[in-house]
Amino acid sequence: MTDVAIQMDAVWKKFQRGERHDSLRDLVPAVARRILHGARPAGELGRDDFWALRDVSFEVQRGDALGIIGHNGAGKSTLLKILTKLLRPTLGTYMTQGRVGALIEVTAGFHPDLTGRENIFLNGSIIGMKRADIERRFDAIVDFSGIGDFIDTPVKRYSSGMNARLGFSIAAHLEPEILIIDEVLSVGDYTFQGKCIRWMQDLLKSGTTVIFVSHNMDAVLSLCNSAILLDHGQVASKGELTKVVGDYYKSGGRWKPELLAQSNARTVEFSCAHGTDVLVDPGERVTFTHTISASTDCELTPGFFVTRGDKPVVDTTYARMRGHPLRLREGETATVSWSLAFNLPAGVYEIGYHVGDFGGGYHEHQSRACIVTVGDDPRVRGDAYVALELVESATGVRTPGPARLGAGAS
């Protein structure tokens, strides 16, 4: 299918910092100023103005799921407000084709004094459902929400979880052609969340166009098929999902190494032959070099680890696995090479290292020293064979050179 569901064409949105005049008393001086200095053209910034969105363009095909990611204040919400017609762009145009539904602030239309039943009809019509549709889906909505017998209780007596579940259930039964979701999948308890995820997947299968805003990259990676990254109102990256998610992590910057103990050895450098941000195909081999220098005689165990969204993927403290430590004399420097074939599913992986005592205590620990993004390959799915090749060399040789280490599961 080639028909376009959403098209944004060079959209700019201007906002004003600070207070506006919002009483009639302040209007007169403001009007006088405007007459004296003339109205400002739309494309120009005043003293207190700033661009919340700058030249944003993208296109979403019918049935596609687009992830919108970016750090807080990047312009994601402003963009959604334009898509839901709440705001009008200062410059530029956009169009949406089909009924737009939004899962944003799903309880906004609730009135606390009305019962669950009354609120279903009220909120349903506020978000654009016809009365007949609400009547037809009423039982399904109540069922999905799990509110049960409380449906005739005023919502002010609901727990916040019940409130949110009811709101979500109403919105979930809107059946729009374009669905805009802003970080609402965290509603309710574990069971309800599972229900929401299944519902979302069914929706995508049924061909609904989805715009998904989230800080949860795993959810974005599993639900979307393309993404845009917003940074200070601009599209910093767009297109292929894993590349954009990788760019998002990169824009977060490096973390400072953590020095955990009074250290007699420290990392001089940890680097990757291809740079600190690497995009690889599944199975591609990447080599990292880790240079450590000692200020006193010591026995060390350098370690290397890979995480994905806080979940460990690869973790090694090689010296202990080999049964003897890396021994350094005062002033000596050793370089350890880590070579890993990224036989892993598509996604963003963070590479970290640590330096420890042979006994097990850490001197130094750094996560996210490099970021490796594995591109999408339909042949690679699920668990992957991981061949870890370890190359070790040290000046002032005390331990024998190149060693191979195999670890993996298929």
| Cβ neighbours for 155, distance < 8 A, ≥ 6 positions apart | 110, 111, 112, 114, 115, 116, 119, 162, 163, 166
Neighbours of 143 (CB within 10 A): 12
Interface pick for another protein out of 3, 18, 25, 159 (rule CB under 8 A): 25
Q: Which stretch binds another protein (CB under 8 A): 105-113, 253-261, 268-276, 292-300?
A: 105-113
Cβ(159)–Cβ(169) below 8 Å: no
Residue 333 and residue 326: Cα distance in Å, rounded?
Answer: 11
Closest of 405, 350, 407, 352 to residue 374, by C-alpha = 350
Q: Which stretch binds another protein (CB under 8 A): 54-62, 116-124, 234-242, 263-271?
A: 116-124
Residue 22 in the binding site for another protein (CB under 8 A): yes
Residue 24 and residue 27: Cα distance in Å, rounded?
Answer: 5
Cβ(384)–Cβ(343) below 8 Å: yes
Structure-token match 């909505």, residue found: 141
390: tokens are 């370890």
Interface pick for another protein out of 10, 46, 105, 404 (rule CB under 8 A): 105
Q: Which is nearer to another protein, 84 or 287 (CB)?
A: 84
Residue 142 and residue 289: Cα distance in Å, rounded?
Answer: 58
Q: Which is nearer to another protein, 26 or 297 (CB)?
A: 26
Cβ(85)–Cβ(265) below 8 Å: no
Residue 197 in the binding site for another protein (CB under 8 A): no
Q: Which is nearer to another protein, 50 or 358 (CB)?
A: 50
Q: Which stretch binds another protein (CB under 8 A): 115-123, 160-168, 209-217, 357-365?
A: 115-123
Mark 76-95 with x for binding to another protein (rule: CB under 8 A) and - for no binding. Answer: -----x--xxxxx-------
Interface pick for another protein out of 98, 109, 146, 309 (rule CB under 8 A): 109
Interface pick for another protein out of 17, 20, 47, 311 (rule CB under 8 A): 20
Return the H-helix or E-strand segment holding 118: helix 116-126
Smallest separation (angstroms) from another protein to the CB of 42: 13
Q: Which is nearer to another protein, 126 or 261 (CB)?
A: 126
Angle separating helix axes 116-126 and 131-145, nearest 10 degrees? 130
Strand blocks (E) in 86-208: 91-96, 100-103, 178-182
Residue 50 in the binding site for another protein (CB under 8 A): no
Residue 151 in the binding site for another protein (CB under 8 A): no
Residue 333 and residue 330: Cα distance in Å, rounded?
Answer: 9
Residue 114 in the binding site for another protein (CB under 8 A): yes
Q: Which is nearer to another protein, 85 or 254 (CB)?
A: 85
Smallest separation (angstroms) from another protein to the CB of 31: 12
Residue 111 in the binding site for another protein (CB under 8 A): yes
Residue 118 in the binding site for another protein (CB under 8 A): yes
Closest of 52, 104, 375, 15 to residue 230, by C-alpha = 52
Smallest separation (angstroms) from another protein to the CB of 125: 4
Q: Contacts with another protein: how many residues (CB under 8 A)?
A: 30
Interface pick for another protein out of 48, 113, 258, 297 (rule CB under 8 A): 113
First-to-final CA distance of the chain: 37
Residue 135 in the binding site for another protein (CB under 8 A): no
Angle separating helix axes 116-126 and 160-172, nearest 10 degrees? 40
Smallest separation (angstroms) from another protein to the CB of 91: 14
Residue 365 and residue 369: Cα distance in Å, rounded?
Answer: 10
Contacts 24+ apart (CB under 8 A), 82-89: 82/8, 82/11, 82/13, 82/53, 83/6, 83/180, 83/211, 84/180, 87/13, 89/11, 89/12, 89/13, 89/53
Smallest separation (angstroms) from another protein to the CB of 127: 6
236 to 74, 93, 132, 195: CA distances (angstroms): 10, 20, 44, 33
Smallest separation (angstroms) from another protein to the CB of 105: 5
Residue 39 in the binding site for another protein (CB under 8 A): no
Smallest separation (angstroms) from another protein to the CB of 229: 25
Residue 297 in the binding site for another protein (CB under 8 A): no
Q: Which is nearer to another protein, 179 or 369 (CB)?
A: 179
Residue 121 in the binding site for another protein (CB under 8 A): yes
Contact residues for another protein, defined by CB under 8 A: 15, 20, 22-25, 27, 81, 84-88, 102, 104-105, 108-109, 111, 113-114, 118, 121-122, 125-128, 130-131
